[in-house]
Chain A
Amino acid sequence: MSTLAHDAVRYAKKPRGTSATAVLLLAGAVALLAGFALPWIAPSKLAMSLFAQALFDALLATSVGFLFLQNGRVSFGQAAFSGLGSYAFGVLVARNLVGAEAALLVALLLPTALAFLLGLVIARVSGVAHAMLTLAVGQALYEVAFRWRELAKGDDGMSFDLPARIFGVSARGLQDPAVMVVLAWSILVIVLVGLALFARSRTGMVAAAIRDNEERARFLGYSTTLPRALVYAIAAFVAALAGVLQASYNGYIAPQMFHWTVSGFALIMAIIGGAKFIIGPAVGAVALFYIKDFAGQVAEYWPAIVGGALVIVTLTMPQGIIGLADLLWRRSARR
C-alpha cells in the first residue's frame, strides 16, 4: 500500500476526531434509552403496532440507503434479502428443523453470505444495469417462493407459530406491540450508530473512495472488489434484520415480501428521507409509512397519493427531508 493512500485516509479522518465519535455514541445511547419510554408515550396498542411496522420499513430503507451511500449502487432488489431472512426464519421455525436460536442465526447469515457472493460479481456492474440485475435477483427469488408450493404454500403464504422460548425468554413478546416497538427501535438505533461508525472507519472510507472513483482507488493499491462486497453484505444483514423482525411479528410469510415493488418502495423511502445521510432513509420510511397509512384511511386510491407525494417531494426537495433540514440548519447557523 502506498503511503499516499495512507495519508489520504488519515487526513480524511482527522477533522472528525474522537469527539465526533463520542457525540455519536452518546446520541445513540440517549436514543436507545428513549426507546424504552415508547410504550408509555404511545396512546394505544394500535399506535405502537403501527410504529413498529414503520420501524421495519425504516430498517429496510436504511439497508438500501446504506448501499447507495457507501457503494453508490442503486438496488432495486433489496427485498430479496429481507424476504430471504423472513423465509429462512419462517420455514425453519414452522418445520421445527432447528432450534429458534439457530433459525435466527441462519435467517440473518444466509442473506448476508448470499449478498457477499453476489457483491463479488454484480457490484462490478454500475448504474442502471446494476439496478436491473438486483431487480432480477429479487424477482427470481419471488418466483421461487411463488412456485415452490412445498416450501411455504406458494402464493397463499404461510403462517407459523413462534417457538415458546427464544434465548431463554418467552418468544410471545415478539408479537406484543409494546415489546416489539422497543426491540425494533433499539435494533434500528444500534444499526444506525453501527453504520455511522463503519462509514468513519478505514474500510468505510476506502469504500467511499471506491464509490467516488474506482480506478483511482485501484491505482492507490486498494482492492476494490472486497470492500464493495463487504458493504453489500452489511446492507443485506440490515435487510435480513428487517425481514426476521417482520416475519416474527406477523407470524406470516408470503412471496409478496420479495416483490420488486417492496424494493421500489424502500428506495422511495430512502430518497424522500435523504439518501445522502445515514439517518435519512429511516426518517423517510417513517414519514412515508404514516403518509401511506393516512392516505389509506381517507381514500381508496392511496397509491396515487403516495405517487403524487413522491413526484412533488423529488421536484421540490431533491435532497430529501434530512437534506432540507440540513440546509435550513446551515443557513440559520451562518446568520
Chain B
Amino acid sequence: MLIQVLNGVVYGGLLYLLAVGLVLIFGLREVVNFAHGALFMVGAYIGFSVAAAGYWWGGLVVSVVAMAIVGCALDATVFRALRRQDPMVTVLVTFGLLLILETFVTAVWGKAYLRYPMPALLSGTVNIAGSPFPVYRLFVIAVAVVVALSLTAWLRFTRIGLYVRAASTDARVASIQGVNVDRLSLIVVGLGTALAGLSGVVAGPLLTLSPTMGNYILIDSFIVVVIGGLGSFAGAFVAAILIGQIHNLGAICLPWAATILPFLLMVGILIWRPAGLAGSRA
C-alpha cells in the first residue's frame, strides 16, 4: 500500500514540475501554454540524445539549459508580440507551436518508441516496508521536492520573486510601479520551459519516448492547474499530489474508470469552487 502511495507521489511530482511551469507562464502572460507538453517531450529527446552518448547527467543539464533558451525565445518572439491580443488567440498559437515541435521531433528522431537509459548511480532498489522500491523513483520525488522548496524560497525571499508575485497578481499595476514585466516574463517563461525540460528528462526513464508522449501528461497537468486554481503555486502542489494519488489508486481499484477520474474530480471541484482550490481568479 505504501509503495502504491509512493508511486502516486512520483507521478504527482512529475505533474507538479509541469504544472508549476504552466502556472508561472500563466501568471505573467495569462496564456495557457498548449505547447508545454511538447516542450516536455523535446526536453526528453534532447536529454536522451546526450544520455545515449553516455552522459546521463550531462543530458539533464543540456536539456534544461536548451529548454530555458527555447523558452526565452518563445517569450521574446511570440508572447510579447501577442500580449495585446485576446489571450485565447495566444493559446491557439501555442497549439500551433505544439504541431511544429511534434513534427520537428518526428523528423529528427522518428516515430519509433525509444527507451531512455537510467543513470547507473540510481538504478538499484531499496527496501521500503519490506518491499523493493526503485531508487530512481525516490530521485524523482526528491527532484520535485527540491524544485518546490527552492521555487517557494525564490518567490518569497528574493526581490525578483516579489516582482513575479506582483506581476502575476496584476501585470499592469506592477508595471506602473516600475516592474519591467517584459524582462521579468523572459525569465519566468524561460524558467517554466526549463522545468518542462527537467521533468521531460526525469520522466524519460519511467516512460517511453515518442513524439506524442507529452499529450497525455499535458492534459493531466492542465487538470492540476485548474483544480489548484489558476496562478496558484501552492494550489498546484496540492492538486498535483492529489491527482497523482487518484491516477495511481484509480488504476488499481477502478481500472475501467481510472482515466476519467481526474476529469470528474475537476468538474466537481470547479462546480464547487469555480476558481479552483486556492485560486482567486476564474
In the complex, the answer to whether B103 meets A307 with C-beta atoms within 8 Å is: yes
A11 close to chain B: CB less than 8 A:
no
B98 interface residue per 8 A CB criterion? yes
User: How far, in angstroms, from A20 to B218 measured CA to CA in the complex?
Assistant: 47
Given contacts A129-B274, A135-B222, A315-B81, contact A308 B89 (CB under 8 A): no
> In the complex, are the beta carbons of A139 and B219 less than 8 A apart?
yes
Judged by a CB distance under 8 angstroms, whether B253 is at the interface is no
Contacts of A271 in B (CB 8 A): 89, 92
Is B256's CB within 8 Å of the partner chain A?
yes
Decide: B93 and A310 in contact? CB cutoff 8 A: yes
Greatest chain A CB density within 10 A among B85, B107, B219, B226 is at B226
Identity of the chain B residue whose Cβ is nearest the Cβ of A301 in the assembled complex: B103
Contacts of B106 in A (CB 8 A): 301
What residues on B are CB-neighbors of A121 within 8 Å? 271
> Is B100 part of the contact surface with A, judged by Cβ < 8 Å?
yes
Interface residue? B260 (CB, 8 A): yes
Complex alpha-carbon distance, A135 and B93, angstroms: 17
Could you say which interface size class chain A belongs to?
35 or more
Closest to B256 in A: A147
Does A143 contact B96, Cβ atoms closer than 8 Å?
no
Q: Does A179 contact B (CB under 8 A)?
A: no
Residues of chain B contacted by A147 (CB below 8 angstroms) = 256, 259
Chain A residues with CB below 8 A from B76, complex form: none
Does A327 reach chain B (CB closer than 8 Å)? no
Complexed CA–CA distance, A125 and B279 (Å): 13
CB distance from A107 to the nearest CB of B (A): 23
Which stretch of B183-191, B194-202, B262-270 is in the interface?
Answer: B262-270
Q: Is the interface of B mostly helix, strand, loop or mixed?
A: helix
Q: Which of A184-192, A241-249, A260-268 contacts B (4 or more CB under 8 A)?
A: A260-268
**Counting CB contacts under 8 A, is A144 at the interface?**
yes
Interface residues of B in 80-123 (CB under 8 A from A): 81-82, 85, 87-93, 95-100, 102-104, 106-107
CB <8 Å contact, B89 and A318: yes
Taking a contact as CB atoms under 8 Å apart, the answer to whether B93 and A314 are in contact is yes
In the assembled complex, which residues on chain B have CB atoms less than 8 Å from the CB atom of A122? 267, 270-271
* Cβ–Cβ contact B230 & A128, under 8 A: yes
A128-B32, A140-B260, A306-B99 known; A133-B92 Cβ under 8 A: no
Q: How far is the CB of B207 from chain A (nearest CB, A)?
A: 19
Query: In the complex, what residues of A have CB within 8 A of residue B260's CB?
Result: 140, 143-144
Contact of A139 among B78, B226, B263 (CB under 8 A): B263
Interchain CB contact under 8 A, B263 and A125: no
Nearest chain B CB to A274's CB is how many angstroms away? 12
A311 in contact with B93 (CB, 8 Å)? yes
A202 at the interface (CB under 8 A from B): no
C-alpha spacing A137/B85, complex, angstroms: 27
Q: Once the chains bind, are A143 and B259 in contact (CB under 8 Å)? A: yes
Q: Could you tell me the distance between the alpha carbons of A314 and B102 in the complex, rounded to whole angstroms?
A: 20
Is B223 positioned at the interface, with any CB of A under 8 Å from its CB?
Answer: yes
Give bound CA distance, A129 to B230, whole Å: 8
A172 at the binding interface (Cβ < 8 Å): no
Q: Is B244 an interface residue (CB 8 A)?
A: no
Minimal beta-carbon separation of B245 from chain A (angstroms): 18
Cα distance A144–B259 in the bound complex, in angstroms? 9
* CB–CB A303/B99 < 8 A: yes
CB of A106 closer than 8 Å to a CB of B: no
Chain A hits for B102, CB < 8 A: 303
Q: Would you give 19 A-B contacts (Cβ < 8 Å), ordered by A?
A: A74-B91, A126-B282, A127-B87, A128-B26, A128-B87, A128-B91, A129-B275, A131-B32, A137-B263, A137-B267, A139-B263, A140-B264, A260-B219, A267-B95, A268-B92, A310-B99, A314-B85, A314-B90, A318-B82
Minimum-distance CB pairs A-B, first 6: A307-B99, A310-B96, A304-B103, A307-B96, A307-B100, A303-B99
**A residues near B, CB below 8 A?**
74, 121-122, 124-129, 131-133, 135-137, 139-140, 143-144, 147, 260, 264, 267-268, 271, 301-304, 306-311, 314-315, 318
With A128-B26, A133-B266 known, 18 other A-B pairs at CB within 8 A are: A128-B87, A128-B230, A129-B226, A129-B230, A129-B276, A133-B270, A135-B219, A264-B92, A267-B95, A302-B103, A303-B99, A303-B100, A303-B103, A304-B103, A307-B98, A307-B100, A310-B99, A314-B92
